[in-house]
Each structure stands twice: as C-alpha cells, then as structure tokens.
Amino acid sequence: MPSTSIRPRTVTAAPRPLHRRLPTVSLVAVSALLLGTACGETRSPSADSATGGATSPAAASDTLQAAVITQTVLNDSDDPAIWINPAAPEQSLVVGTDKGDSTGGLYVFRLDGTIDSARTRRPLMRPNNVDIVDGFVMGRDTVSIAVTTERGKQALRVYRLPDMIPIDGGGIPVFDGDVTRAPMGVAVHRRASDGAVFAIVGGKAGPTDGYLWQYRLVANATGVVQGTKVRAFGRYSGTKEIEAIAVDRTLGFVYYSDETVGVRQYRADPDAPGANEELALFGTAGFVSDHEGIGIYPTSDSTGYLLISDQQGQRLRVFRREGSAGAPYAHQLLAVIPVSARETDGLEVTATPLGPRFPEGLLVMMSTDRTFHFFDWRDIKARIARRDTVVTR
C-alpha cells in the first residue's frame, strides 16, 4: 500500500500522460514523479507550474492548480463522485473509477488525496462512470449508494456507503445484453415527490433517438437492488458517443454530453409531461473537441453553475445554471478556466462545506496521469468573477 504521508511540494518538471511516450527528463523530474505516486499531494493554488503530470496549453501562470492531487490508481482514472459525511463533512469521501479491463476498481479517497484501501473495491471489469445518491430506501432504512457501470459485465453495480458493501446481487444487466452498447455513463436521480431512485445509463453506441436508458432501482425483500427499465430517451448526433451524464435533482433536469457536438438537456422524471422532448442543446462552439464531464454547483435552489470539461482544451467551461426571462433553457457561458487536470473525462462538484480545506465546496476532476485533482471552490469562484476569460479564450 502506498505511504499516506502528505508533504506540500512543487513539481519542477511535469511528465506527459502515461498513455503516451515519455520524453527524456532529468533525474530530478523522475524523482518528483516517483514521490508523487507514493502520496496524495497538497498543492498551493499559486504554484508556478502544472503539477501531477499535467501541463496546460495555457500559460502556467494562468492555469488553475489543484489544492490536492490524489494517489494514483492502477490503470486509468476516469470519473469521480463525492459522498458527503453528514456527521463530519471534513471526513467526506471521493469515489473514483479505474477503467482496467480485468484489474479495474472503485477507489475511495480521503479529502487529503490518500486511498482508503479498506473501502476501495477491486478488481472490477472496466468500471467506467460512477454517481452517488442519498435517501435510497432499503426496508425501513434509507442509505446512500454508489452506482457504477461495469462495462466488462454489461451491468450496473450498486454499493452501500460509506462501507462500500455491494448490494446488487452481482450486477444489474443493462441494454438487454447488447454488447455493442457497452455501458459507460451513469447518473442517478432521486425524484423529490416520492423518493423514487433512477439510474440513467449511456452506452458506447446507440441510436440517434433513445440513446439513454433509464432504470428504476428498488431493493427487494432480501435487500438486493434490482433495476427495471422505464424509458429510452435522448437525441444523439451520431458523431462520436455519449458518456458524461449529470442530474440536477433539485430542478429535475438531466444533462449529457454529445461529444464534439454539445450538451443536451431533458427532464429527469420519466413521468413528467414532455419528458422525452429536448429542452436545450448548448455549448456547441468553443470546445477543442470532446464535451465531457458535467457538474452542477448550486448557489440557491434555482441558480448556480453548470461545469463542463473541454477535454482536449484542458479547460473548464462554466455556464449559467438558470436561464433568463423568456429563455429558461438558455445557458450563458460565464468563464473558461485552464486547469491542472489533464484531458479530463469525468468531474463532480459539491457546494457543501467540507471543513477548513474546502469551506465553500469541492470540485474533483479526473486527470490522465491516473489521478484525480481536487480544487477549492473559492479558486473556481474567483476565476468566474474575472469573466474576461470568456472573451480571451
């Protein structure tokens, strides 16, 4: 198990992502990399260079640095989710996927970036995305659950938090076993009116309409979670694929990235009037290539920010959560922020204060150096306030 000691430091030379051929580097840089894989790293937002194996296309002085970079996973980090500890928010956890085909897993990280090996679950067969929801009914109790797509088993996996005990009987089959639609993206919605919980799943491929399948999740009498398909919905351009999915549980919307095209918006409740009608397609310009991870940061019940990963641009694009008078689904671009996380697929954000390290919330972004980058929301908020980033990039 890696050491869990945390030592602030600055990396003077940053390697390229591990899936590409590394250039020749100095012994100092190699030593820094080896140390970084042995411990979670606490970062200063004012660091002068990109860290944790990430270099930004923007000037280093303009790149937002992570406050913490996690220990590395074994294979290929992809998507995070955040579990809020209601009794001690500073002891909340981040669950992140590692997409190894046969040696993948769900890694659990503390807020200092170290791996909680007792809660980490591996091996799994290429777990792709993960989401967490509170208030899932199991008998007379309500619990928090983490739901992930296990591509190698063509299934959803469900774990009870915070102990990460599997409660799915080995997996919930999806897409009727169609291997061409290997499950990738997932988001979980809890309907406010009755507490019903749904998983919305996207595959590696799919039709131009009905790309996403939505399942109602229910625990049976023996405590095993089962899924029942309730609808197929969602337009698809046919250009690439749909992976990133996020649900605004308060407002009842689901957003998903139609990669290289834009972000689409629908109603999350399958029984809502007009549930299968597209409400918006936004973010259609300015991305280098793929639209990826989506997060929702509320500033009130109806206002806040939609955060979208501009993957190849290594930037975070921030849109207004609410629309405007007469245009409720028009999401205005507010800021474009270069970040230390490299080629981010999945991201997650919370507005819940998580102790003195993250007093206004936490943004987690996957990075291709097999880590996850933790950002202090105060730093994101300061960049949004600048607003000039919209017109300069």
The two structure tokens encoding residue 202:
């996207």
pLDDT at 107: 98
Distance CA 148, CA 30 (A): 34
**Total Cβ atoms within 10 A of residue 344:** 31
Per the listing, tokens 């009608």 go with: 277
Residue 306 lies in a domain: yes
Place of tokens 């980090």: 77
Query: What's the pTM value of the predicted model, to 2 decimals?
Result: 0.85
pLDDT of residue 12: 32
Query: In which residue are the tokens 């501009």 written?
Result: 310
Question: What's the rounded Cα separation, in Å, for the pair 213 and 167?
Answer: 21
The amino acid present at 150, given as its one-letter code, is E
Domain contains 44: no
Q: Which residues contact 16 (CB under 8 A, 6 or more apart)?
A: 22, 23, 53, 55
d(CA 252, CA 269): 7
Domain membership of residue 206 (yes or no) is yes
11 belongs to a structural domain:
no
DSSP per residue, 338-389: EBSS-S---EEEE-S-BTTTBTT-EEEEEETTTEEEEEEHHHHHHHHHH-TH
CATH number at residue 225: 2.120.10.30
Distance (Å) of CA 340 to CA 51, 54, 253: 6, 6, 29
Rounded to 5°, angle at Cα 114 from 342 and 107:
75
Task: Note down the domain range covering 383.
Answer: 56-392
Cβ contacts of residue 61 below 8 Å, gap of 6+? 48
Q: Confirm whether 18 is domain-assigned.
A: no
Radius of gyration of the chain (CA): 20
Nearest to 190 by CA among 269, 107, 245: 269
Structural domains of the chain, count: 1
Measured CA to CA, the distance from residue 370 to residue 302 in angstroms comes to: 35
Q: What pLDDT is stored for residue 386 in this prediction? A: 86
The full 3-state SS of 39-72, as one line of letters, equals CCEECCCCCCCCCCCCCCCCCHHHCECCCEECCC
Distance CA(2)–CA(98), nearest Å, equals 17
Q: Are 175 and 158 in contact (CB under 8 A)?
A: no
Q: Where are the alpha helices (DSSP H) in the chain?
A: 27-38, 377-386, 389-392
- Identify the residue whose tokens are 């291709």: 368
- Quote the tokens at residue 6: 């945390």
Distance CA 393, CA 312 (A): 14
d(CA 155, CA 133): 18
In this structure, is residue 50 part of a structural domain? no
CB of 185 closer than 8 Å to CB of 128: yes
Any idea which residue has 């689904």 for tokens?
329
Secondary-structure breakdown of the chain: helix, strand, coil percentages, each rounded to the nearest 5: 10, 45, 45
Instruction: Find residue 367's DSSP bridge partners.
Output: 371
Q: Considering the domain boundaries, does residue 51 fall inside one?
A: no
Look at residue 325 in the predicted model and tell me its pLDDT. 83
Tens-of-pLDDT digits for all 393 residues of the chain?
443 333 333 333 333 333 333 333 343 333 433 434 444 555 433 332 333 333 334 445 799 999 999 999 999 999 999 999 999 999 999 999 999 999 999 999 999 999 999 999 999 999 999 999 999 999 999 999 999 999 999 999 999 999 999 999 999 999 998 989 999 999 999 999 999 999 999 999 999 999 999 999 999 999 999 999 999 999 999 999 999 999 999 999 999 999 999 999 999 999 999 999 999 999 999 999 999 999 999 999 999 999 999 999 999 999 999 988 889 999 999 999 999 999 999 999 999 999 999 999 999 999 999 999 999 999 999 999 987 555 444
Residue 102 lies in a domain: yes
For the chain, report the end-to-end CA distance as a whole number of angstroms: 42
